Amino acid sequence: MDNKDSEAEIHPLKTEDVKAQENHEHFVERRIVKSSGLSRLSRWRTAAFFISLFLCLVIVFAFSFIIPCPERPVSERTWFQYYNSAVPYPFLAIEDVNADKVQDVLFAFKSSNGSSSFNVSCLDEGEVLWRQSHDFGANYTVLTPLSVIPDVDEDGVQDLIIFITKGAQVKFFIHSGKTGQQVGSTGSLSMDGNARYVTLHLHSSSYFLFYTEKSLYAYSLKDLCSAAVGREVKLSDFQLDSLWEKHIDHATHRLELLSLLSFGDIHYLAKVPGHSRDNILVVNSEMATLINTKDLHVMWTLNVSRLLSEPLLGYYKPDDHGIILESEIGPNRKKIMIVESESGAVQWELKLNSRAGSPGPATLPTADHRSAFLMWGDYQEPGNETTHRAPLQKLYLFHPSYTHVLLELRNSTDQIIAFTAALFERSRHACYVLLRGPQPGEEPGPVSLMKRKLKEDVSVSRVIWLHYMAGDEEQHIRDRLYRMRFQSRD
């Protein structure tokens, strides 16, 4: 007993140590078991992650290689179309006819066998999408601009309405934008002289406004489509304008507006976008007048004599509509003015030598919410004017960022029948199109249609100083305008 008591006194904490050691061993075992479970769970999570990653990669590769992605069309910088023994009409339009988000060129020519053809060219492939022959009859003229209308034949693609005129007679055809086939029958309208037209968008209404020298005629889009198809056509979100309907004689379709008729002879009519609807610019032999279509009051007038081409819209200031007017100021001389649409104030003007039949101007929207202006003529520096030789045909580019500079892009000795410019793809690929060949009434000959990328000419252009500004270098200006970006406007 004494020995046991002595041993207990010598080692008083031995029992407690043993218990602590045993507890520690049990705790370590539990941690090992728990860690083993977590390790197995972590391995399952890792396996699940890699399996998911593998499945994602399989799907990506399947869509990348097995399922072909649609190829983006590659736009050619320049292409040509040639036709022999033909006479082109002064008709050139650029629209996305087949709804592939790439602009197409539409033009018309008369072949040597007497038939007329409409061609649609996909600008990215110089490829003819469809061609339709139509016997217009002798001495008919195709009216511009081309009008794209809602899908009348319900094939999922917008359609085209085309007007031709001879004397006081106007005929119209609706063609499928998908196939080119005529939809319905040929319509006929009677005027009191040679007519031209503009399309007006008045809130939820669309009207074709025809004008002769003395009269105005108005036809709703619904009326024309119904007449061609032979039944009433229902157009979504279309409502007749009550104010205009009151002023239309529905027997003759004359638009009886005393405020417009008081201006006498009408040389040109143009639509000018307003805040909520289109307004009308009326040009006679002496002045240009802007009419508000909402209440038919005069907004402004500007003295303009002998206009040479149809008024054109562009942007001299950011997001501020300007009107380009070309007027004759003497033999082989013209003046180009950019006029502010809201006030009628002249923002910029230029005088050029110009031959008879010279093409009118064109505009392209730029990313700074302004426009690049393209114009034809022959600029002569002050003091170097020559009046004995015939003016040359030169194409110039002007941008409002350099009000003192012109770029001379190209010379042309060929006879130009029609000229226009456009962005062939949304916000990119700025180009111009030239239709060249015999004049209407001349003997058939070679006809060419050319599309050329604008930057190709800008890179090799000649800088012309309207007035010199210190610090500007020609190459710097050329480079800046070459890098100019373009942006489509809805």
241 belongs to a structural domain: yes
155 belongs to a structural domain: yes
CA dihedral (229, 231, 236, 238) in degrees, to 10, reads: 100
Give me the number of domains the chain comprises.
Answer: 2
- Residue where a domain terminates, one of 274, 305, 336: 305
Whole-model pTM: value is 0.76
352 belongs to a structural domain: yes
Residues 188 and 332 in one domain: no
Residues 273 and 323 in one domain: no
Over residues 322-351, mean pLDDT: 94
Whether 387 has a pLDDT exceeding 90, the answer reads no
- Residue where a domain terminates, one of 271, 305, 339: 305
Residues 154 and 287 in one domain: yes
Whether 204 has a pLDDT exceeding 70, the answer reads yes
346 belongs to a structural domain: yes
Over residues 380-389, mean pLDDT: 68
Per-residue pLDDT tens for 134-176? 667 677 888 887 788 888 888 888 888 999 998 889 999 998 8
Q: Which of 9-18, 93-102, 129-138 has the lowest mean pLDDT?
A: 9-18
Per-residue pLDDT tens for 420-444? 999 988 888 899 999 999 987 888 9
- Residue where a domain terminates, one of 305, 331, 365: 305
Residues 273 and 382 in one domain: no
Residues 272 and 325 in one domain: no
Residues 270 and 402 in one domain: no
All residues at 6 or more sequence positions from 70 whose CB lies less than 8 Å from its CB, including other chains:
none
130 pLDDT tier (thresholds 50, 70, 90): confident
Task: State the residue range of the domain holding 478.
Answer: 314-413+459-490
236 belongs to a structural domain: yes
Per-residue pLDDT tens for 342-382? 999 999 999 999 988 889 999 999 999 999 999 999 998 87
Whether 4 has a pLDDT exceeding 70, the answer reads no
Q: Distances from the Cα of 419 to the Cαs of 197, 253, 321, 388, in angstroms?
A: 19, 32, 22, 27
Residues 351 and 202 in one domain: no
182 belongs to a structural domain: yes
386 pLDDT tier (thresholds 50, 70, 90): low
Per-residue pLDDT tens for 214-230? 888 999 988 899 999 88
List the one residue out of 183, 253, 261 whose CA is nearest residue 225: 183
